[in-house]
Structure 1
Amino acid sequence: MSKRGDRLQNTGARGSRRAASRRSAAPHAGSGNGGDAPPPSRLWVWLKRLFFWGAALAVLCLIFLAFAVGFAARSLPSFDTLQATQPGQTIVVRARDGRELVEIGPSFGEWLRYGDIPDTMTNAMIAVEDKRFRSHFGVDPVRLTGAVIEGVTGSRARLGGTSTITQQLARNLFLNNNRSLDRKAREAVLAMALEWRFSKEQILELYLNKVYFGGGAYGIDGASRKFFSHPATDLSVAEAAIIAGLVKAPSQYSPTADVQAAVDRAQVVLGLMQEQGYITSDQARVDVSAVQLKEQAGQNSVRYFTDWVLPQLDIILPETYEPIEVWTTLDIGMQRAATAAIEANTPGGAQGALVSLDRDGAILALVGGTDYVASNFNRATTALRQPGSAWKLFVYLAALEAGYTPEDTVNDTPVTIDGWSPRNSNGRNVGETDLRTAFAYSINTVAAQLGNEVGFGTVASMARRFGITSKIDTNPSMVLGASEMRVIEMTQAFAGIAAKGVIVQPYGITKVTGASGDVLYEREQETNSPVLPDYVVAGITDLLQAAVQTGTGRAAQIGRPVAGKTGTTSSNKDGWFIGFSSGITTGVWMGRDDAKAVSGLQGGRAPAQAFAAYMRYAVKERPIEEFDVTLNLPEWQLEPDEEAMFGAPDDYYYIDEQGNLVEPGRRDAEPEPFGQERERGPNAPPAASQDFLEQAIGSALPPQPQPQPRPQREPRRPALPPQAPVRQGE
């Protein structure tokens, strides 16, 4: 047979075998499912692909994370460098004579090596902050998973935070406290880098010596000395529990802020320590409330001043983190005298505040309350209170500028203005009196009439001239101090009077120096022009001096010239005295924070007495200065000269500049054109003689009326009619 035939024969044989194979397999397959197997589903294919790519992506992420952690680990400072780095900025505040007032910023105890840290302290911190610290790699997967579940479900079942001790250390050393995803990612990378670079013992040593415990204390030794007056090497179980409990919220659980909160938190720490096997049940039952806390020496009132002045550094300084020294205007002796005056004279249950300014606005003393530890609310610079009759300063300033003088007569009568009827404190009205007496005895009805005459908006504008920035109502009652003011701005206004009408801007910082001694800021001397004429300043000084010499402010006398004004609000809720002497202006306020009445509180009593007690010390080294109360009035306000005794100018004929004869009553008339007849006045002589007229009419003329004498000038007084009764007060 040929080769071609052999190939055909072989091909046919192979085809027969394949057919036989299919026939023999068909019954077997049919016995199972009755046909061919279905192809894999699309879902299964996509799941396999997702798993494959997810695994690949995870591997890439792990590789990237490893590179990031490795790079971060290589970039970390050495252990010695981290140990030497101190967080926070130290600020030393100095008085005007250079003495240190206070140091603000972090305080550190001794650095404790890991072997010197008591096991009780280490165990307490691990128990409450990171119970798996010794087993994780910087990030706790269990806590991280719990955080993810919490974020999805909204649950709040977890008691701890997501950050491990290592993460907290990374944040404290290198990051801020922003709650952003980016910051958390960097925190995790740095935490793993720290674990890569340092041992667990080194991480704990850094953490326990650098973590913040509140009150400016960093590190366990600083906290132990601050709260218990002994080093951290002597910490008991209860004390260690208190310190460990502070990390979560230093201000909330601080023993100096809330003892009970600190005790309750320490009990939680002790329970966790027992649960994790660090202490026995007997140790966990220790009485934390019996721990002897360090007695806090009362922080003197200097802190009221520093609380007000230090935030100004953000405005006057460029951003800097180096230690700085702030040189201030505060006088230590005057501050002590001011504190003693407020503590000694403030009525029980009330608060007191004092601000004292030098003639250029430098703050010599500032007291914001009777006890800074009990309440750091600054009543001298922050509290808004009604000034009462101390506000009359601006009413009388407006009246003096409008033309009144201290000798002018005013009429103390009942008045009603737009339905408002003030009354005097004694319920009486004295009738005619002079301006000086009305101010000295703080007569409300006269102030109301003056304010109404000059305009309430004019009074408000006068206050603005002297630096008052608080809201001022222009209702009639504003003349008696219904608008709320701060002590510092009212004192500023009175200081402007002491400075001869020049506005005074209070300030507390003279210069700031850096650690190297470089001057970072130095205050420049301001030059301002007076906002009032000299005669107005002299007039108001006369009135203010009379208020102290003979009026409601007599308790403020100190044996040398003093000018000032009392203020008392309704129901004795607020008492004020503000005055000046020898270039120092001091304002005193007393009252309750809840604005309830204080029995017997009047501006002329406790506040004036506190003013006198302080000022006797404040001015003792200064020369006595007499006040200039001489009124050099402008021409428009002067009385007529001696020729006025012969009659008023309008009673005379006179020749004007053009040579024209001007008749009585025609002084201001313009000359008529030539040839035009002038219009005759009522007293002008007749155009024809009496005989001529009698002959013309054939009878006698009626008698002419006699001229009436001119009325005498009345003394100046408010142009208001007497009306309904009203109330008087200081």
Structure 2
Amino acid sequence: MSNSGRKKPPLVAEKRYGAKPAAKPKPKRKPPAQATMKSKAKPKKAAPRRKVVKKKPTKKRHPIVAFVLGIVHWVWRLVWAFTWRTGMVFGIILAIAVGYLYTTLPDVNALLDGRARGSVTLLDRNDQVFAWRGDQFGGVVTATTVSPDLKNAIVATEDKRFYRHFGVSPRGVLGAVRINLSEGRGPLSGHGGSTITQQTAKLLCLGVEYDPAVWKNEADYVRDCRQGSLWRKAKEAMYAIAMEIKFSKDEILSVYMNRAYMGGGAYGAEAASQRYFGKPASVVNAAESAMLAGLLTAPSSLAPTSNLKRSQDRAATILRLMNEQGYLTDDETQYWQSNPAVLSAAAKAKAGGYFADWVMASGPEFFTRNTTEDVILKTTLDPRIQEAVEEGLKWVFENKVREGSKAQAAIVVMSADGAVRAMVGGRKTKVSGAFNRATQAKRQTGSAFKPFVYGTALDLGYAHDDLVDDAPYCLNIPGSGEWCPRNYTNKYYGEVPLTFALKNSLNIPAVKISESVGRENVRTVASGFGIESDLAAGPALALGASESSLLEMTGAYAGILNGGSSVTPYGLIELRLLGDDAPLMGTGGGIGERVITEGAARELIYMMEKVVSEGTGQRAAIEGWQVAGKTGTTQAARDAWFIGFTADYVAGVWMGYDDNTPLTGVTGGGLPAEIWHEAMVRVHQGLEPVPLPAFVPQPKAKEPKAKKKRGGNFLDKLIEGLVGQ
């Protein structure tokens, strides 16, 4: 039975050593009831079988390629490690620098007015502004108080992304570099790509204040602040970022609008608006705003007072930019481009430049030339008279003087008390800071000096009808020899009255009178009337060999008109600080002490009236008016004068060349008298004629032939005078 055909299983170790007891199965954990129910309700899906993707065998790189790529990868990792570490260090340094600059920034209100000196505003006698000097400010404006058009024009022109950047615009800098390189300049030369914030930082000189001990003058300080080196640009960018953190955008824009120079001596939008348009910056329209914004690029060359057309063309471009950026509609842009901004009457007139310069030079220095305050000067200038004088001068040179002539002329008009009403110091009238021939030029006066000789004689008791012998006459001058004066006509008229001698400007009688009354007396009278220049010591004193200014001579004639008292010409009525009602000082001139008697002055006026009505000054006559005056022509006609007056005004005219070239065919009774006439006809237009305060001769009863005329023969008096000496 045992040998049935089945094969016996082989012996194994278990059988040999005994079988291991079977492991007890772990009891299965009963699932929760819900889980049991779910498993019963929804059988669990079998997990999908993962698809086995066979990896493609990688191709082994060429050893050389692998080596090169390894080197590149190593270099890249090295550069990247260096870059981010350097960037981190740079960022930390930048943060520290910006943080430091942030702590140095003052309150925004302290940054609004950054002028190193004050301003002077000059008012005419009608309290209207006619000139500005110094650094005009006008007052603080903010981005919220100026006209919205002005704010938009500035942003559109200077920095259209102003409200979106953080103080520096990388896009703007790269664009500026590209433009500079394309135009053949250095990357930092020309266009700067600066934001408004960076420009404001530059205006603040990066927080460095002006110190006279460091810079020679303010111009050097400004030049240093405007330098464009790479290091300076970096500092400017850091300062701009600090400002962006410290201040709001509108505060930064406010500082910019208050500190920017806008031409014509105006700093800030308010001063420029008042300077050019005579209105505050809060009410300027779009065309005016565009013109003001255009000044920020080149304030001197684009100033409307320098070239209005150029300024209007620039404004038209800015209006287009405002339209492109959505600040103006197409209709508004077209309207304002068709109606550009124009200057105010005061800015257009540019009147009284010579007068303003004279007042500034004659006033107290600490309130005029070097003022740190904003000063208001009320002056004696009459704009109507100033315009009349300028028109009269222009008419004569256009109609009476040959074209291309370089001859110059000057005019001064004043009242009898010395109040200067108009002044022209040269043919170019719309100027400031120019050489003033009315006040700065010292020229020989010629026969215009003779009234002081005759005034001295009248004051000493001589009369207008006393006789003097016009005959050849010579004097021995110690050290010079014999001197023989001659009349301009080279003729002799014999015994003539003083009035005849003066009205015909005879030289020999004038010298004889001067020698008779004493040169020192003549010198004293001339000095008393305000001629401060050195007076000649010799007998040529009587013929105007001394030099004087037109202002001095006109003031001296005013002393004759007012009855013989000295006059100090003046242009200042009062000086006060901006915002104050009480003046700090008042008039600096006027009528002074008596020089000759009133009777002598009135008789002299009578004699001088004959100069105009019958003598050498007839071209100065004004129909319906009594005019008194005197012509003057110096040796070789290098200077020609006419000075005269009506009852209302005294006016002096000088004509000549700056280099002392002789005038051709010109005497004091010619072109100067005509200029005086044309100017004074316009000055007196609309005024009622008033007679001169002159002596009126009484008709004399016929005297017996044995008796002498009143005063006797002047030659007798001359002999008596010489004997008395």
Answer yes or no: is the 8 Å Cα contact 1:574–1:590 preserved in 2.
yes
Deviations 1:307-337 (A, max 9, x none): 1113444358599655443222111211111
1:216 to 265, 276, 290: 265
C-alpha distance in 1, partners of 2:213/2:189? Answer: 18
Answer yes or no: is the 8 Å Cα contact 2:416–2:649 preserved in 1.
yes
Matching of residues 513-552 of structure 1 within 5 Å: 513-523=576-586, 528-552=592-616
Matching of residues 153-164 of structure 1 within 5 Å: none
User: What letter corresponds to residue 332 of structure 1 in structure 2?
Assistant: P
1:613 to 678, 694, 702: 678
Indicate yes or no: 2:674 matched with 1:624.
no
C-alpha distance in 1, partners of 2:687/2:98? Answer: 67
Matching of residues 71-470 of structure 1 within 5 Å: 73-74=102-103, 76-79=105-108, 82-83=111-112, 89-104=118-133, 105-106=135-136, 110=150, 116-118=156-158, 169-171=203-205, 175-176=209-210, 178=212, 180=214, 194=239, 197-199=242-244, 210-212=259-261, 214-218=263-267, 300-315=350-365, 317=367, 321=372, 323-346=374-397, 347-348=401-402, 349=405, 350-373=407-430, 376-417=434-475, 418=477, 419-470=482-533
Answer yes or no: is the 8 Å Cα contact 2:561–2:693 preserved in 1.
no
User: Percent of aligned pairs with the same residue?
Assistant: 30
Deviations 1:145-179 (A, max 9, x none): xxxxxxxxxxxxx999xxx9788534497733635
Deviation at 1:433, TM superposition (A): 1.2
Deviation at 1:395, TM superposition (A): 1.8
Deviation at 1:397, TM superposition (A): 2.1
Answer yes or no: is the 8 Å Cα contact 1:171–1:177 preserved in 2.
no
Answer yes or no: is the 8 Å Cα contact 2:260–2:267 preserved in 1.
yes
C-alpha distance in 2, partners of 1:120/1:159? Answer: 22
Change (3 A) 1:529 1:571: closer
Answer yes or no: is the 8 Å Cα contact 1:503–1:530 preserved in 2.
yes
Deviation at 1:462, TM superposition (A): 1.8
Matching of residues 9-88 of structure 1 within 5 Å: 73-74=102-103, 76-79=105-108, 82-83=111-112
C-alpha distance in 1, partners of 2:506/2:375? Answer: 52
Answer yes or no: is the 8 Å Cα contact 1:408–1:715 preserved in 2.
no
Answer yes or no: is the 8 Å Cα contact 2:485–2:508 preserved in 1.
yes
Deviations 1:5-59 (A, max 9, x none): xxxxxxxxxxxxxxxxxxxxxxxxxxxxxxxxxxxxxxxxxxxxxxxxxxxxxxx
Deviation at 1:482, TM superposition (A): 1.9
SS in 2 for 1:540: helix
2:618 to 551, 554, 571: 554
SS in 2 for 1:366: strand
C-alpha distance in 1, partners of 2:410/2:504? Answer: 24
Answer yes or no: is the 8 Å Cα contact 2:393–2:678 preserved in 1.
no
Change (3 A) 1:437 1:352: same
Deviation at 1:113, TM superposition (A): 9.1
C-alpha distance in 1, partners of 2:599/2:651? Answer: 23
The two structures have a TM-score, normalised by structure 2, of 0.58
C-alpha distance in 2, partners of 1:397/1:84? Answer: 57
User: What letter corresponds to residue 105 of structure 2 in structure 1?
Assistant: L
2:641 to 557, 568, 576: 576
Deviation at 1:502, TM superposition (A): 0.9
Change (3 A) 1:408 1:159: farther
User: What letter corresponds to residue 106 of structure 1 in structure 2?
Assistant: Q
Deviations 1:667-711 (A, max 9, x none): xxxxxxxxxxxxxxxxxxxxxxxxxxxxxxxxxxxxxxxxxxxxx
SS in 2 for 1:529: strand
Answer yes or no: is the 8 Å Cα contact 1:111–1:221 preserved in 2.
no
Deviation at 1:68, TM superposition (A): 13
Deviations 1:354-408 (A, max 9, x none): 1111122111221222213478321112122221100112222233334432111
Answer yes or no: is the 8 Å Cα contact 1:69–1:192 preserved in 2.
no
Deviations 1:237-263 (A, max 9, x none): xx99xx76x69xx79x999989xxxxx
C-alpha distance in 2, partners of 1:615/1:93? Answer: 25
Segment of structure 1 superposing worse, 479-488 or 594-603 = 594-603
C-alpha distance in 2, partners of 1:113/1:87? Answer: 28
Q: Which has the larger radius of gyration?
A: 2
Change (3 A) 1:386 1:167: farther
C-alpha distance in 2, partners of 1:117/1:568? Answer: 59
Change (3 A) 1:117 1:173: farther
SS in 1 for 2:573: strand
Answer yes or no: is the 8 Å Cα contact 1:221–1:231 preserved in 2.
no
Answer yes or no: is the 8 Å Cα contact 2:102–2:242 preserved in 1.
yes
C-alpha distance in 1, partners of 2:257/2:657? Answer: 44
C-alpha distance in 2, partners of 1:69/1:491? Answer: 64
SS in 2 for 1:497: helix
RMSD: 5.2
C-alpha distance in 1, partners of 2:137/2:120? Answer: 11
Counterpart of 1:506 in structure 2 is: 569
SS in 2 for 1:539: helix
Counterpart of 1:601 in structure 2 is: 666
C-alpha distance in 2, partners of 1:526/1:222? Answer: 34
Indicate yes or no: 2:540 matched with 1:489.
no
C-alpha distance in 1, partners of 2:394/2:717? Answer: 44
SS in 2 for 1:325: strand
Deviation at 1:579, TM superposition (A): 1.3
Change (3 A) 1:322 1:111: farther
1:472 to 528, 532, 535: 535
SS in 2 for 1:396: helix
Answer yes or no: is the 8 Å Cα contact 1:114–1:204 preserved in 2.
no
Between the two proteins, the alignment pairs up a number of residues equal to 509
C-alpha distance in 1, partners of 2:713/2:378? Answer: 60
C-alpha distance in 2, partners of 1:74/1:175? Answer: 16
User: What letter corresponds to residue 423 of structure 1 in structure 2?
Assistant: R
Matching of residues 623-662 of structure 1 within 5 Å: 624-629=690-695
Answer yes or no: is the 8 Å Cα contact 1:511–1:519 preserved in 2.
no
Answer yes or no: is the 8 Å Cα contact 1:166–1:194 preserved in 2.
no
User: What letter corresponds to residue 136 of structure 2 in structure 1?
Assistant: P
Answer yes or no: is the 8 Å Cα contact 1:301–1:367 preserved in 2.
no
User: What letter corresponds to residue 585 of structure 1 in structure 2?
Assistant: V
Change (3 A) 1:67 1:621: farther
Answer yes or no: is the 8 Å Cα contact 2:558–2:650 preserved in 1.
yes
Deviations 1:283-307 (A, max 9, x none): xxxxxxxxxxx99987544111111
SS in 2 for 1:482: coil
